[in-house]
Amino acid sequence: MPGSDDKTMSAIETVVRVRNKNGLHARPSSVLAETALKFTGTTIRLRRGDVEVDAKSIMELLLLEAHCDAELALTVEGDETEAAVAAIRGLFEREFDIAL
């Protein structure tokens, strides 16, 4: 039946700011990728300038070279966009729950 199993794919674009003083280094990248991987039906991308990466990849996240106060464009598309944005935004706001 047409439309009975269709899922509406929605996208959310927003900006997040790196707040921790050491920037988006290996540990926060690991926490971010681990969180992003929980949203299997969702594409999560971060962009800084001309560099856009998959937030589910630690190695790609490191390519952003995002220092303290860097603003990153966050694009989330898929099944759980709102939950994914809330989870990722929360990580940035809480400085990835890492005490340095």
The label of the residue with tokens 């927003």 reads: 14
Q: CA distances (Å), 68 to each of 6, 16, 38, 41, 63, in order? A: 41, 12, 26, 30, 15
Q: Catalytic residue positions?
A: 25
